[in-house]
Structure 1
Amino acid sequence: MILADKVMTLRKKNGWSQEELAEKLNISRQSVSKWESGASLPDIDKIIALSSLFGVSTDYLLKEELETEQPSETEDVYEAAKERAVSLEEANGFMGLVKKLAGRIAFGAGLCVLSPIPMIVFSGLAEYGADAGVRGAAAISEDMAGGLGMVILLILVAIGVAILILGDMHTEKYRYLEKEKLALQYGVEGIVRKRKEDFAGRYRFCIVAGVTLCIIGVVPLMVAAAFSAGDLAYIYCTAVLLSMVAVAVFLFVWAGSIQGSFDKLLQEGDYTVEEKALHKKTSFFPAVYWCLVTALFLGVGLYTDNWRYTAFIWPVAALLFVAILYIVKEVAKARLEKGD
């Protein structure tokens, strides 16, 4: 049996198409097609890669007289059925793209948090502005405040969501980094780890600053309550709280996106092989959770018309998110262990 027949037989035995085999070897589908038709032969590097990929010896691939598959003699290249090779060019392309998009995605997430502020402020001015002596407040009716505030809210949310969707579409071709077991080619791990170490200081700063902003964002409300401030003061304090949370979200998302690009390549943090299996089971949760929280915030706020207390939904939801996500992951892990 010639090499072309052996490659085709082994490929089909593993249930791969020519395109899938090409992806695992970082070559074009046409190259695989030429190998299997006998139009060309793979070079020595690809012979070694095929040996490791199919779990057979290089002798079996190269010697026509050997008809029986022999175990691979290479142990350090990669196990193709489980691992996907990542080149330096591929890794640099991914890290560069994430760094470019991180600011935009963080801005989109921040806009979604900021979106209720105009409605809260306009409603406060319409209801309490005239009594507080705010110039021009009497001209704002409650219907005008509610309608205009809702229009601005929807516009900001639409812009924020559009930015998030576009960012996700740009990184679609690298989605396999979150799902497959990876094998970084020679020298890639060292470069990625060096970049991660260089970014570590900024990552820690963003996380600490974001948490601090979330905590002190509640302080204006507490001060207003301590001094029995007027209703309009509570409205402004709520707007300040949401603004600080929005900045915190920006820091979390920006730093988390860049840090995540390193962790995905190194298969560390939330992207270990075990976590990738869990992610497939739990990836639905964050989007569903925060959509429900947003709906709850708007629903309670509009129903009670008491935004000063409704704003506390956000910090409470953030704390509950961590606890509920942990439970969801534990349940998913138990199901994976059972083989469900």
Structure 2
Amino acid sequence: MLSEKIMDLRKQRGWSQEELASRLDVSRQSVSKWESAASVPDLDKIIRISEIFGVSTDFLLKDENEQKDLYEGSLSSVLYEEHQQYFIKEITEEEANAYIQLVENVSKKIAAGVSACIFSPVILLILMGLVKSSRLTMHEDSAAAAGVIALLLIIAAAASVFITWGLKLEKFEYIQTQPLALTERTEEAVRKKQNDFEPDYKRFITVGVMLCIVCAVPLFAAVMFHASDSMYFYCTAVLLMMVAIGVFFLVWAGTIHEGYEKLLGEGDYSPEKKIEKKRNDNLSKVYWCTVTAVYLGVSFLTGRWDISWIIWPCAGVFFAAVCGIAAMLRKR
């Protein structure tokens, strides 16, 4: 039906009814009536709709609603021809609710795991500080060994959390990789939850960033007051604990916020960007294999392993430029 096609095409662009209405110079109520089949747009509006979405008027008026045509309307024809395997995935309200609930559970676990990895050297630092201040009657090597054991155990526990909860998200992998289509009711429900979470998101991000900024204060205070060597260990431990707490808030809030963006097809998860990211996968493999070969070749030939590492940060920055150039060439 024409009403369904207009609604599906609008959602694939991530537009609201108001945005489509402004492009057609009509009221939002008119678009709403079209999508609910309460009225039919005039012929000139149908032609305008076909121009906006890049589809033919035959596609809009015929009763055929093949996924191929829907996909071709939501993305450029070039992307469609090269990526015919990427069709629109329809998401039910039950799927959306199940995904949001899982993301909310996983976000805390992943955030705790990341924070644990940052926290892992704290025990080692405290033990070394106690030994340096002679408050712990233990050989320095023994204290270091005990601290490293604690570090490895914490990282192992965090890794198990990443694997366990990461696997649970695999069944929803299509939400991250495929273009999605949500019903009006589902989109409204998801957007309401996103809006309800927005104040918490801003609060957690603010707290997390502030903790990461002020975490170095104890260490600089130790330098300013010419503290003992043991105090430097303690201050570094405090620094890591503050970073761990800050990162917990950042990862927790960021994961949930990202989950809403994936469902709604916003930001880095719009249909076009999902396909663009997939197209860059092969480029990424070739690029990083080449960088690795260059790094090893330069390092072995010069023997300057102490400075050859600079290839990696330079390659990371240059990769963004390569992806940008590739995107521009594809648009030609």
TM-score class, shorter: 0.5 to 0.7
Number of the residue aligned with 1:88: 93
Higher RCO, Cα 8 Å, sep 6+: 2
Mapped to 2, the partners of 1:278 and 1:157 lie a distance apart of 34
2:119 to 114, 123, 136: 114
**TM-score for the superposition, normalised by structure 1:** 0.61
Mapped to 2, the partners of 1:214 and 1:102 lie a distance apart of 19
Mapping of 1:33-48 within 5 angstroms?
none
Q: Name the SS of the counterpart of 1:183 in structure 2.
A: strand
Instruction: Give the drift of 1:282.
Output: 6.9
Unaligned runs of 5+ in 2: 1-57, 72-85, 289-311
Unaligned runs of 5+ in 1: 1-69, 289-319
Q: Is the 8 A contact 1:109 1:249 kept in 2?
A: yes
Number of the residue aligned with 2:181: 183
Question: Structure 1 residues 158 and 223, CA, compared in 2 at 3 Å: closer, same or farther?
Answer: same
Instruction: Give the drift of 1:223.
Output: 1.0
Mapping of 1:248-327 within 5 angstroms?
248-280=246-278, 281=280
Mapped to 2, the partners of 1:196 and 1:254 lie a distance apart of 14
Mapped to 1, the partners of 2:146 and 2:140 lie a distance apart of 10
Q: Is the 8 A contact 1:82 1:180 kept in 2?
A: yes
Is 2:324 aligned against 1:333? yes
Mapped to 2, the partners of 1:97 and 1:336 lie a distance apart of 34
Q: Is the 8 A contact 2:111 2:249 kept in 1?
A: yes
1:200 to 183, 190, 198: 198
Instruction: Give the drift of 1:161.
Output: 1.2
**TM-score for the superposition, normalised by structure 2:** 0.63
Instruction: Give the drift of 1:234.
Output: 1.1
RMSD (Å) for aligned C-alpha atoms: 3.0
Q: Is the 8 A contact 1:125 1:140 kept in 2?
A: no
Number of the residue aligned with 1:226: 224
Identity score, percent: 34
Instruction: Give the drift of 1:260.
Output: 1.1
Instruction: Give the drift of 1:165.
Output: 1.3
1:237 to 224, 235, 243: 235
Instruction: Show CA shifts across 1:102-133 (max 9, x none).
Output: 2111111110110011112222322x222xxx
* Amino acid across the alignment from 2:174: Y
Mapped to 2, the partners of 1:116 and 1:156 lie a distance apart of 9
Q: What is the aligned length?
A: 230
Number of the residue aligned with 1:105: 110
Instruction: Show CA shifts across 1:306-327 (max 9, x none).
Output: xxxxxxxxxxxxxx99x98775
Instruction: Give the drift of 1:100.
Output: 1.7
Is 2:180 aligned against 1:172? no
